[in-house]
Amino acid sequence: AVRAARGALPAWAATPPAERAERIAALRDVLVARKEEIAETVTAELGSPLKLSQAVHVGAPIAVAGSYAELAASYAFEEKVGNSTVHLEPVGVVGAITPWNYPLHQIVAKVAPALAAGCTVVLKPAEDTPLTAQLFAEAVHEAGLPAGVFNLVTGRGPVAGQALAGHEGVDLVSFTGSTAVGRQIGATAGAAVKRVALELGGKSANVILPSADLAKAVNVGVANVMSNSGQTCSAWTRMLVHDSQYDEAVALAVEAAAKYGERMGPVVNAKQQQRVRSYIEKGVAEGARLVAGGPEAPRDQGYFVSPTVFADVTPEMTIAQEEIFGPVLSILRYEDEADALRIANGTVYGLAGAVWAGEVTEAVAFARQLDTGQVDINGGRFNPLAPFGGYKQSGVGRELGSHGLSEYLQTKSLQF
């Protein structure tokens, strides 16, 4: 696959950006035409409810593919700086390693900008969701991309993923997944002096300032954590509430969590179910107060986990520090803004977050102090053109929009 990608690289890199844009637009159109089949496949593999698969798991990647069709056509691949012309050229062959939690979105968020940049790609998707990747490969073929520009290799992470990351014919490794695996891939790439982009874990804070609409902030916050059965790296899994509103917020969260019992899908597999349940048990053991859900499976069949809410969580508890990757919300109390900021920034992660306040300016002032890559203000919605990625141990580099495109480019300056 790497050999095929290397062979296809010169011709694809030399293809005018407008033509590359046309191919990416064609790919988007195939995804649109096959969206029902893809949604059903995501539901079968991942277990997400069909409506979520249609709206998010297929809707988001279609939007992202469309954004890169436009960007490829409009992006300035060269600029004049004094007596120099600076050319932005494709980095080469990209090894893309993607997770199972948003199986199509994570593929498109790497492949579309790589293709827009003029790179060729070898994709190693998660072993839990290979059929979604297979459908994507068929879509690439239907869209008329030249042979070798996109290549699919399925297999297990420690075998196929590690082989791809260490391959001397790969110029850049783009990985989304756990921080532990990201470290290994970073070390492998570093030893080969190879470009690397890592989108890793998160333990994002949802900071509700006293002036906020408490009911709205809590309801949206709970929805954010329960969506996709909690299997979202950027989920706001720590809700920070002022002492004076704490009890009311807990009651609102319990009420909100009760709505998700019936409409939430299972987690991806037995191992994940056990992982989440063990974290819930650890929360109880460390003294957090279980106010909704719990470690018991809510039904006899399927890898379901109850929508779970913990109150009286303190910042040093395991459930407030480690990424659980399940439908588990921790509610922490704070005394004042300085205390809230200290708690919010007090983990090794920095991927996302949210701030709620009566005035946007107040929320923005707080958000500017957060050590994190993305912050939603008063429930701001997802923007496929905004850079996505983390501070600290949440990763290196950015995905989506023009920042995501620049990850796949390298710089050459010509002096006159």
pLDDT in tens, 253-303: 999 999 998 899 999 999 999 999 999 999 999 999 999 999 998 999 999
**Angstrom distance (rounded) from CA 135 to CA 128:** 14
**Angstrom distance (rounded) from CA 40 to CA 319:** 33
Q: Across the chain, which distance is largest between two alpha carbons, in Å? A: 72
**Angstrom distance (rounded) from CA 351 to CA 315:** 18
pLDDT for 265-279, tens place per residue?
Answer: 999 999 999 999 999
* Residues near 346 by beta carbon (within 8 Å), at least 6 away in sequence: 315
Select from 304, 214, 299 the least CA-distant residue to 253.
214
What's the pLDDT band for 241 if we cut at 50, 70, 90?
very high
What's the pLDDT band for 333 if we cut at 50, 70, 90?
very high
Q: What is the DSSP string of 168-204?
A: TT-SEEEEES-HHHHHHHHHHHHHTT-EEEEE-----
Residue 262 confidence (pLDDT): 87
For domain 2-200+391-415, the CATH architecture is: 3-Layer(aba) Sandwich (3.40)
Q: Classify burial at 314, counting beta carbons within 10 Å of its beta carbon; exposed 0-12, middle 13-18, buried 19 or more.
A: middle
Select from 412, 374, 350 the least CA-distant residue to 84.
412
Q: Catalytic residues, which ones? A: 199, 233
Q: What is the DSSP pairing of strand 238-242 with strand 205-208?
A: parallel
Q: Is the pLDDT of residue 243 over 90?
A: yes
pLDDT for 64-90, tens place per residue?
Answer: 999 999 999 999 999 999 999 999 999
Q: Please tell me the CATH code under which domain 205-377 is placed.
A: 3.40.309.10
Residue 117 confidence (pLDDT): 98
Domain boundaries, the chain: 2-200+391-415, 205-377
Q: Is the pLDDT of residue 10 over 90?
A: yes
